[in-house]
């Protein structure tokens, strides 16, 4: 039992801290601040701080599930894990925030989102893997299509995905497709991608993972969230 609780605690620890930095990210947008700069500066403290990074949501078979299981189990003991449950909700709401920012970016470039195609870069929940279980990309694709946008994706590790019995296949990443789509949305920051070439051939890039941090000074079409 202690071993099981240890695993639940470890995953919940990450869930809570990811939720904290995700909420900070949304606040920084409101305040006109760069959350990536702030997290990086805080991480220079040599003790008492462990950096967690904002993102489009959580995925995998542990973090999206374990906090809810722990909250459910706690009720058997008349205990309500409000803090844990709230953190899980914040992470679950991040795809909605990403979609709002993406649509806003498309509008800002003078394009009607309902006439637009978005290319999702990366659908695996973690970079350099082929695991797309509970990936936030799935919810993002679903929400974008509900808003009337056309959605494609490219992932060098995931050949196809299935969302509500609809099959999506990974598109080739070519100069032509990058020029054609209204927006490139970086959801998973695979390391074997040439981000300078990708951004250079894209109209707008919405970066959820700070994948473009080394080329920000070269391009004006990047929006980091």
DSSP state letters, 17-43: HHHHHHHHHHHHHHHT--HHHHHHHHT
Quick one: which of 31, 8, 9, 28 has its CA closest to 20?
A: 28
Cα–Cα distance between 205 and 218 in angstroms, integer?
13
- At 193 the pLDDT is 97
98-124 pLDDT tens trace: 999 999 999 999 999 999 999 999 999
85-102 pLDDT tens trace: 999 999 999 999 999 999
- At 61 the pLDDT is 86
Give the pLDDT band of residue 178 (cuts 50, 70, 90).
very high
% of the chain surpassing 90 pLDDT: 99
pLDDT at 174 over 90: yes
Q: Is the pTM of this model over 0.85?
A: yes
Instruction: Tell me the pLDDT of the chain averaged across its residues.
Output: 96
Residue 62 appears among annotated catalytic residues: yes
- CA 82 to chain CA centroid, Å, is 24
Give the pLDDT band of residue 59 (cuts 50, 70, 90).
very high
pLDDT at 41 over 90: yes
Strand extents, DSSP E, the chain: 117-121, 150-154, 160-163, 166-169, 183-186, 205-207, 222-224
Give the pLDDT band of residue 67 (cuts 50, 70, 90).
very high
pLDDT at 145 over 90: yes
Catalytic residue among 28, 62, 183, 208: 62
Which residue segments constitute the domains of the chain, with CATH numbers given?
A: 1-224 (3.40.50.720)
Order of all β-strands in the sheet with 205-207: 150-154, 117-121, 183-186, 205-207, 222-224
Tokens of 122: 């990366």
Tell me what the mean pLDDT of segment 154-167 comes to: 96
- Measured CA to CA in angstroms, residue 217 lies from 24, 137, 168, 212, 213 at distances of 24, 27, 34, 10, 9
- At 126 the pLDDT is 95
Neighbours of 151 (CB within 10 A): 21
Coil vs helix vs strand at 223: strand
- Measured CA to CA in angstroms, residue 169 lies from 87, 104, 156, 158, 165 at distances of 32, 26, 11, 8, 13
Give the pLDDT band of residue 192 (cuts 50, 70, 90).
very high
- Measured CA to CA in angstroms, residue 218 lies from 31, 60, 196, 200, 224 at distances of 25, 34, 9, 9, 14
């Amino acid at each position: 039992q202690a071993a099981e609780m240890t695993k639940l605690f470890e995953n919940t620890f990450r869930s809570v801290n990811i939720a904290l930095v995700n909420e900070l990210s949304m606040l920084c947008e409101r305040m006109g601040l760069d959350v990536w700069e702030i997290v990086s500066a805080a991480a220079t403290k040599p003790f008492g701080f462990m950096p967690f990074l904002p993102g489009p949501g959580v995925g995998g078979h542990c973090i999206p599930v374990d906090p809810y299981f722990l909250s459910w189990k706690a009720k058997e003991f008349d205990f309500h894990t409000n803090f844990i449950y709230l953190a899980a909700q914040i992470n679950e709401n991040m795809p909605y925030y990403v979609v709002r920012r993406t649509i806003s970016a498309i509008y800002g470039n003078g394009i009607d989102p309902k006439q637009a195609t978005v290319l999702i870069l990366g659908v695996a929940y973690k970079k350099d893997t082929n695991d797309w279980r509970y990936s936030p990309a799935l919810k993002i694709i679903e929400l974008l299509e509900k808003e009337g946008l056309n959605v494609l994706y490219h992932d060098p590790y995931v050949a196809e995905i299935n969302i509500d019995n609809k099959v999506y296949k990974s598109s080739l990443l070519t100069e032509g497709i990058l020029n054609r789509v209204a927006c490139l949305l970086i959801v998973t920051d695979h390391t074997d991608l040439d981000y300078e070439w990708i951004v250079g051939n894209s109209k707008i890039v919405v970066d959820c993972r700070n994948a473009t941090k080394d080329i920000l000074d070269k391009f004006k079409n990047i929006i980091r969230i």
